[in-house]
Structure 1
Amino acid sequence: MASELTPEEVQRYARHIVLKGMGGQGQRRLKAARMLIVGAGGLGSPTIAYLAAAGVGELTIADPDRVSLSNLQRQVVHTTADIGRSKVESAGAFASALNPHVGIRLMAEAVTDDTADGLISSCDIVLDGTDNLKTRRTVAAACARLEKPLVSGAVSMFSGQVSVFAPHLGGPAHDALYPPEASDDALPSCEANGILGPVTGIVGTLMAMEAIKLATGLGQPLIGRVLIYDATEARFTELAY
């Protein structure tokens, strides 16, 4: 049963409520949704900001890292004053200040094989913006076991991509896009190759949009499709897999 909205929430989400295809029912579904965001960095930052603003009922944020100066060029939920602070604490404070109606749970640890099932089982939708295949595979395997949809984003240099994995809804498995033979050694690292800050904003916002679609039933999610963004050409490309 979708949660009822308070008078203050009706005013806060007025632009959603008058939106055809969303309306009060969609907003109540968002309020009832519980989402896990794995990674509070470049992709996690815009994802957290837009999901909190949109009125998701509960956000769980998982990240073991602390804020560093080099993060601030793209990780927009953190500020200079947050340097040295736990990323989940910084991101949680941002989200709570933006929207006090959103419940915030913080996990200042990496998602591992031992913790993934317990963490993911309490959520409806998972978003992964981490930068290594080990964590991505751990999260994807747990989501598949527990039949939870996974919104996955990745960025490098001037480009990024987003897709939705939901084998329980008939979509392909994570291995279809990231085969077992792929390794982190073969992937470009942000530290070595860099990343243009706004690229993370674009891809992270697309991730938030996919999560909202999944929660509300709006539109067609990117299941079995990957959307690729090239900043230098200002071009989106969609591939089926």
Structure 2
Amino acid sequence: MTKIGYKWGVHRTLMGDRRVKSALPETVWFSEENLWSMLKRHKTVILKPSGGTGGWGVIRVRDLGGHWFEIHSGPRKRIVSNRKTAFTSISSITRSASSRYLIQRCIDLATFRGAPIDIRVMVQRKRSTPWTVTGHLAKIAGKGYIVTNVALSKGFVLPVRQALKGSNMSGRPVQAVIRDLCDTALWSAQRLGRFSTVVGFDMGVDVNGRVWMIEANPKPAISLFLKLKDKSMYRTIMAYMKR
């Protein structure tokens, strides 16, 4: 997959796996027609560059009703009063990116103390050995940010169990949700990782405990696991890195 279309390529590949398909938020290429169509169906969408990393360039757009729209990029929010102004404002951001933008349904992520959570799941193998989940952690967005990237939003990390137990998620046992996260990540790695030995998946859990696959990272930041008090996952990940 080229950098320009990496996230789109991942999405299309995973759509071909029936075990993972239901965990994928609806995703389309950014265009004016697609923007209004997606907002009509979902009311809130996420726009992100298909070749981007680290949470840079992510935009959340909300249809507030009555032709009012909220545009949230980085720590800044802007409310505009018509479609033309909204699209002009969004386009001014997307034009500065080096890759085309995607539009994705915005998942109502579980929150920890009011901040959205997503889950990083590391899946690794050694050459011909089976894929294995070697670690997972919860990333909590910094104040005012929609992205959970720790460096960009000045957020923090927690063990997944602690984050979900302290979140507003309801309706499902935490252990069952963690099992779904790991299973979905393993299935995804099996589908994607023909030529690789490590994939870091960014995954979501909504307020009802449903698991979502947000995106895959072919070069995940392992240093995040050093931020956990328990360093055992970091040691396991590093052991798999050694040839």
TM-score by length of 2: 0.27
The structure whose residues are more often strand, as a share, is 2
| Greater radius of gyration (CA) | 2
TM-score by length of 1: 0.27
The structure whose residues are more often helix, as a share, is 1
